[in-house]
Structure 1
C-alpha cells in the first residue's frame, strides 16, 4: 500500500470525486466536488489531495486544504475529506492517511492542523483536541479539532 498525491495517479480523480460527493456532498452538485479535486492536484500547492492505493486499487483519500469550513476561515490549514473505501475499513488506513497529511504539513512548515466532524470520539483516538463547535453551511453544528504538529502533542491513544 502506498499513499501518493493524486496528481501522480490522476486516473483516480473521478472515483475520488464520486466518493466525496456520495459521502460529503449533502445537497452539493457533483461538479462542485469535481472542481475541488481538479484544483487539488498542483504539486507543492494547497489544496492537495492524497490517495491510498494498493497496486491499481484505490483504498482511500484525504486532503490538505486551505479552508474546509467557511465560517472558520481564521483556522488554517485543514485535514479534510478523509474517506476510506468500505472494503478497506478496519485496517488502520484512516490513521495512516492522517499521519501522512500530518507529516506532509509539518515538512511544509505548518505548526498545526484543523478539521471538523459531525461525530465525536473518532478523531480524539488519533490525538486531535476538541476545540469547540462550529457551523457548517447553512445551519449544521459540527465539532472542531486541532492537532499540534510540534513536539509530542497528538500521539495516538489506541
Structure 2
C-alpha cells in the first residue's frame, strides 16, 4: 500500500470524488465534492487530499482541510472525509491514512488536528480525544475530536 497526495496521481480524482460523494454527500451534489477535490491538489497548500493505493486500485482517501464544520471555524486544521473501500475495511487502512495526515500536519508545525463524526468509539482507539458536540448544517449533532500533535 502506498499513501500519497492526490496531486501526484490525479488519475484517481474521479474515483475519489465518487467515493466521498457516496459516503458523505447526503443532500449535497457531486459538483460540490468535485470542487473540494479539485481545490485540494496543490502541493504544500491546504486543503490536501491523500489517497491509499495498491497498484492502480484505490483503497481509501482522507483530507487535511482548513475547515470541515462551518459552525466551528475556530478549529483548524481538520482531518476530513476519511473513507476506506467497503471490501477493504478492517485491514488498518483507515488507521494508516490517519497516521499519514497526523505526520504531515506535525511536519507542517500544527499543534492539533480536529475532526467530526456522527458516531463514537472509533477515533478514540487511535488517540483522538472527544471534546464535545458540534452542529453540522443545518441542524445535526456531531461528535468533535482533537488530536494533540
Q: TM-score, normalized by length of structure 1? A: 0.94
- The corresponding residue for 1:124 is 124
Aligned-residue offset at 1:87: 1.6
Which residues in structure 2 correspond to 1:8-157 (within 5 Å)? Answer: 8-149=8-149
* Alignment gaps of 5+ in structure 1: 150-158
Paired with 2:23 and 2:91, the residues of 1 have a C-alpha distance of 20
Paired with 2:20 and 2:89, the residues of 1 have a C-alpha distance of 16
Paired with 2:136 and 2:13, the residues of 1 have a C-alpha distance of 25
Moved over 4 A (4+): none
- The corresponding residue for 1:154 is none
> What is the aligned residue count?
149
- The corresponding residue for 1:156 is none
Verify: 1:2 aligned to 2:2, yes or no: yes
Paired with 1:87 and 1:12, the residues of 2 have a C-alpha distance of 18
The Cα RMSD (Å) is: 0.4
Aligned-residue offset at 1:88: 1.3
Aligned-residue offset at 1:90: 0.8
Secondary structure class of the residue paired with 1:37? helix
Aligned-residue offset at 1:54: 0.5
Secondary structure class of the residue paired with 1:59? strand
